[in-house]
Structure 1
């Protein structure tokens, strides 16, 4: 039994990984990254900007006090961690879209958010496939796992063009674009 387990482990180690750079579907991972940022920014926009939370270190100063600061709730690591835990579930609202003129593929939101009016969407240009939805969710989870610290840092810095910074500059999933947010 131990020999079988050892062979299985060796087989897993020796198999080529799909996450090796160059092997990833860049359209999929770029779409997942941009959709993740779109959903994250939407969640942050729903938080009252006046809400704050105390953050501080566990260090106690020589005078016996503990240093604490107030920061906006939407920029706190605890809030962002909570949002990121379930954000990839929203990938079901995205699908592969093929531009009819350029044939360029990208993932776009096709489902309205609560109370949101979406303009006229031509569903003929979307490719709906349940496998694509689960692949997009998996890619989103990979992006969160690999770049969680960078997401926290970019939000804390109030970085402009968050999708471009994370999806092009930091991760390389997307080709550099013309500085647009979803």
Structure 2
């Protein structure tokens, strides 16, 4: 009986050691939601940049104070609408609804997780063949949720960032905003 107890104690120690090792290994990997938030951030930047580029660059709006000066006039100035604070606020109200048209996919060559648009200009995304779709138990509703959370947490950052950097290239915008401004992609490994 003592021999049997000793072997059980050894088995228990091995199981505990295994559990500790497994928890250490899984703790070193970023959680799936962090990787997804990074992918959503990159897609959000794409959507916001597209919204800015779609506006007629000649369109302007008057901004200024509602205060009336001593001479009875308001102090107003004209600014470009594209990328303005008003434009960004209007766009942020609806941009996350576009995430319904996105799905999680892994690029076949780089193995990088991305949130890709399924339909572009009324047709299936021609780049779909470059990706393996990732099964999402939430049926991609998580993409919209993450988008809304990013906007809620970084609303002021978004307005300021696009006001200052709206004309930059998409990869530069994604890297700067998702990596530096929000840190959503900083240190994220693309493996699930």
Fold in common (TM above 0.5):
yes
Instruction: Establish whether residue 171 from structure 1 lines up as the match of residue 178 from structure 2.
Output: no
- Residue of structure 2 equivalent to 1:74: 82
Deviation at 1:24, TM superposition (A): 7.6
Aligned length: 155
- Residue of structure 1 equivalent to 2:38: 30
Counterparts of 1:128 and 1:71, CA distance in 2? 45
Deviation at 1:86, TM superposition (A): 1.0
Give structure 1 regions of 4+ aligned residues with deviation exceeding 6 angstroms.
none
Counterparts of 1:123 and 1:80, CA distance in 2? 32
1:118-145 Cα offsets, whole Å, 9 max, x none, are 4352176112536151111000001111
Larger helix proportion, structure 1 or 2?
2
Counterparts of 2:50 and 2:137, CA distance in 1? 24
Change in Cα spacing, 1:149 to 1:56, as seen in structure 2 (3 Å) is same
**Greater radius of gyration (CA):** 2
- In the alignment, structure 1 segments of 5+ residues that lack a partner are 1-21, 178-182
The 3-state SS of whatever aligns with 2:121 is coil
Instruction: Establish whether residue 88 from structure 1 lines up as the match of residue 96 from structure 2.
Output: yes
Counterparts of 1:23 and 1:121, CA distance in 2? 25
The alignment's TM-score, normalised by the length of structure 1, stands at 0.72
Counterparts of 2:61 and 2:99, CA distance in 1? 29
Deviation at 1:113, TM superposition (A): 3.0
Tell me, yes or no, if the aligned pair for 2:40 and 2:114 is still in contact at 8 Å.
no
Counterparts of 1:117 and 1:129, CA distance in 2? 20
